[in-house]
Amino acid sequence: MIEIKDLHKSYKMGSNSLHVLKGINFSVEEGELVAIMGSSGSGKSTLLNILGMLDGSDSGEYYLDGVPIKDLSEKKAAQYRNKFLGFVFQSFNLINYKSALENVALPLYYQKVGRRERQDKALNYLDRVGLKEWATHLPSELSGGQKQRVAIARAMAAEPKVLLADEPTGALDSKTSYEVMDLIQKINDDGNTILVVTHEKDIAHMCKRIVHLRDGVIVEDTKIEQVRAQEYV
Amino acid sequence: MWLFDRDLWFEIFHTLGKNMFRTFLTMLGVIFAMMILVLLLGSANGMSNGFDKIFAGTASNSLFVWGQRTSEPYKGFERGRRIRYKIEDASILKEQIPEIEVLAPRIELGSHRDIVTVYRKGQTSGSSVYGDYPEIDNITKKKLVEGRFLNDNDIEHSKKVCVIGEETYKLLFEKGEDAIGEDIRINGVFFSVVGIYKPNNNINIDGENAVFIPFTTFQKAFNSGDRMGWMAIAVEPSTKVAVVENQIKAILKNKYDIAPNDERAIGSFDMSEIFNNISAFTNVLKGFSFFVGIFTLLAGVIAISNILLITVKERTKEIGVRRALGATPIVVKRQIVVEAIVLTAFAGLIGFAISVGILAILNSLWGSGDDFPFVNPMVSIPQFGISFLLMVGLSVLIGLLPANRAIKVRPIEALREE
């Protein structure tokens, strides 16, 4: 599903440049649930941004579902993001003047799905995250956990190949974190490929594989026994 | 065609509607600008209409010609000779100058603006008395309050009839008395009143207190022979009055042995000059209002652009999210430009509606008065169309500014956690 070969990325900071990713080799099969761990500055967010086509790499290859991702125009990148990827952010990033349902329907709007179908699909996904009754509520009327579930529903609504979650539990207390992880595990159980960036060990152990990043290289990549979040809820 | 994409419009109205206060503030500038434009233009139009109303009934392309005294000796004549026209001059001029549409000869009792005492049952009025042809009505229209004006039948049979001014009526008759068919006496001759006219407040060539009788009757009753006092001449619209004026003078100078360089022997007055001055004035006024209005509008649209720029900054995160979710730059750009257009157009319409209301109120307050030139103040459809198109055109250009700013921010920067 994801294929990365010798990926390099550096940022220019004035006169000197900062080498953030120093040759990443990494692949993800369909249906995997991967945690990307590392301390801040390890390059995990940069890796996720490149995977999410929000940023480009300096050198190396990146294939997503067999499609080479290289030197994309903004337009192409937007279309690929819409088609291939679902995003979940630490701070939810819901549009604050749109109801939960409208937020979930937004990626479908950019897919040019008809209005009626959009509403139906969005409501279906809201139902799957258990927030059907909250469809008409604004984000400000939802709790943190509910907001993140709406965000997950939004990411799933476009039926992406890969779900990218950047610290999805970073802004949540541990109980809500486990609820969100439970949801992510269930989505993974349905066969969806998911990447989770986190620095929390317990969250990482709820995935099926942990990739450790340190100073721009992968130092450890192990498959683990998944801890079901259900047990903690 | 994206223009008819229901979702785009839904998305735009949704965004604007959910941010009512911001939307309203943004529109305020354009609302006021449109109001100023329409009010200025409408008032200028009202003024122009007002002048038109005042001069309605006066042929604008016309002149008056009368005789004065010569100021140069010529062909053995001394200076100071009085020029008296003959009735035959009318037909000579008409024959030789085809551009003359109407030529109405007139003769006055006594000298110019002389007053003659008119009697009726012991009441008297000092009035001007004119011998006229019915054609004069085509040049300076009389507003008749009762009866009729002189007609061809009166001329043909030299009928002893007259049309009197309202002022004359007031002096000769009791209030409310029916004057039609009554006799009045001028220099011992009786004339039957057939009409009463109301003097035009604004252009007054004949004086307020005047009696009009048929030209032919005048000749017989007052023994004027073939004399003619002056001529009112309407020139066909495509010809300049000054051209005809010169031709007339040349013919008359030749006929009456007037020195070619004698400027004073023939008196004339070109009506079209007044009209040209007034229409030049109202046109300048209209042009100026349009100019001022358009620049105010420009300022209003720039205000919209400004506020959109601020909102774009405020919405950086939202735009980043939209782009992460698959909005292409052109979609983002289009949304912001169309937002600018919708805001401007909507604000323009509101401003238009308000100012049209104000103009309607102004019209009902002052629009009907005769003394102030302000009639039906309203903008014409082309005027409105041009300003509206210009406004929307500007809003497209100016909406591009915040739109470009919006897509310049890369989604990764927009989404960066604080």
Confidence of residue A8 (pLDDT cuts 50, 70, 90): very high
Contact A75 B329 (CB under 8 A): yes
Interface of B with A (CB under 8 A): 6-7, 10-11, 14-15, 18-19, 317-318, 320-331, 407, 410-412, 415, 417
Contact A110 B412 (CB under 8 A): no
Contact B7 A115 (CB under 8 A): yes
Look at the pTM and tell me if it is higher than 0.90: no
> How high is the pLDDT of residue B203?
61
In a domain, B347, yes or no: yes
Q: Which of B208, B235, B262 is the last residue of a domain?
A: B235
> How high is the pLDDT of residue A164?
93
> How high is the pLDDT of residue A204?
92
Q: Closest CB to B324: pick one of A54, A98, A102.
A: A54
- Residues B230, B335 within the same domain: no
Mutating which of A109, A111, A137 best tests the B interface, going by the most B Cβ atoms within 10 A?
A109
Residues of B in contact with A106 (CB under 8 A): 322, 325
- Residues B410, B343 within the same domain: yes
Among A152, A160, A155, A158, smallest CA distance to A65 is for A160
Structure-model confidence comparison of residues B60 and B148, the more confident one: B148
Residue A224 Cα, gap to closest chain B Cα (Å): 30
* Tens digit of each residue's pLDDT (9 = 90 or more) over B73-130: 888 888 888 888 888 888 889 889 988 888 999 988 876 667 888 888 888 888 888 9
Residue A231 Cα, gap to closest chain B Cα (Å): 31
Interface of A with B (CB under 8 A): 49, 52, 54-55, 74-75, 78-79, 81-83, 87, 89-91, 93-98, 102, 106-107, 109-111, 115, 154, 158
Residues of chain B above pLDDT 70, percent:
94
For tokens 């019209």, the residue is B363
Confidence of residue B161 (pLDDT cuts 50, 70, 90): very high
In a domain, B66, yes or no: no
> How high is the pLDDT of residue B204?
62
Q: pLDDT averaged over chain B?
A: 84
In a domain, B36, yes or no: yes
Confidence of residue A120 (pLDDT cuts 50, 70, 90): very high
Pair type for strands A59-64 and A209-214: unpaired
Q: How far apart are CA B200 and CA B46, in angstroms?
A: 20
Residue A75 Cα, gap to closest chain B Cα (Å): 5
Mean pLDDT along residues B351-362 = 89
- Residues B131, B44 within the same domain: no
Q: How far apart are CA A13 and CA B176, in angstroms?
A: 101
Residues of chain A above pLDDT 90, percent:
52
Residues of A in contact with B413 (CB under 8 A): none
Q: How many domains does chain B have?
A: 2
* Domain range for B124: 84-89+100-235
> How high is the pLDDT of residue B412?
77
Task: Report the residue of chain A nearest B415, measured CA to CA.
Answer: A93
Rounded to 5 degrees, φ, ψ at B27 are -80, -25
Contact B317 A93 (CB under 8 A): yes
- Residues B281, B386 within the same domain: yes
* Tens digit of each residue's pLDDT (9 = 90 or more) over B207-233: 678 899 999 999 988 888 888 888 889
In a domain, B31, yes or no: yes
> How high is the pLDDT of residue A35?
94
In a domain, B72, yes or no: no
* Tens digit of each residue's pLDDT (9 = 90 or more) over A33-71: 999 998 888 888 889 889 988 888 888 999 998 889 888
pLDDT > 70? residue B418: no
Q: Is the dihedral of CA A66, A71, A73, A78 positive or negative?
A: positive
> How high is the pLDDT of residue A101?
93
Q: pLDDT averaged over chain A?
A: 90
3-state secondary structure of B62: strand
pLDDT > 60? residue B202: no
> How high is the pLDDT of residue A184?
92
Task: Report the residue of chain B nearest A49, measured CA to CA.
Answer: B412
Residue B305 Cα, gap to closest chain A Cα (Å): 22
Mean pLDDT along residues A151-168 = 91
In a domain, B270, yes or no: no
Q: How far apart are CA A194 and CA A187, in angstroms?
A: 9
Among A84, A53, A32, A56, smallest CA distance to A191 is for A32
Q: What is the ipTM of this complex?
A: 0.88
- Number of CB pairs, chain A paired with chain B, less than 8 A apart: 70
Q: What architecture (CATH level 2) is domain A2-232?
A: 3-Layer(aba) Sandwich (3.40)
Mean pLDDT along residues A73-101 = 89
Contact A78 B326 (CB under 8 A): yes
In a domain, B245, yes or no: no
Confidence of residue A2 (pLDDT cuts 50, 70, 90): very high
* Tens digit of each residue's pLDDT (9 = 90 or more) over B3-14: 667 777 877 887
All structural domains of chain A with their residue ranges: 2-232
- Residues B105, B36 within the same domain: no
Residue A5 Cα, gap to closest chain B Cα (Å): 23
* Tens digit of each residue's pLDDT (9 = 90 or more) over B221-270: 888 888 888 888 988 888 888 889 999 998 988 888 888 888 888 888 88
In a domain, B223, yes or no: yes
Confidence of residue B198 (pLDDT cuts 50, 70, 90): confident
Give strand pairing partners of A35.
Answer: A196, A210
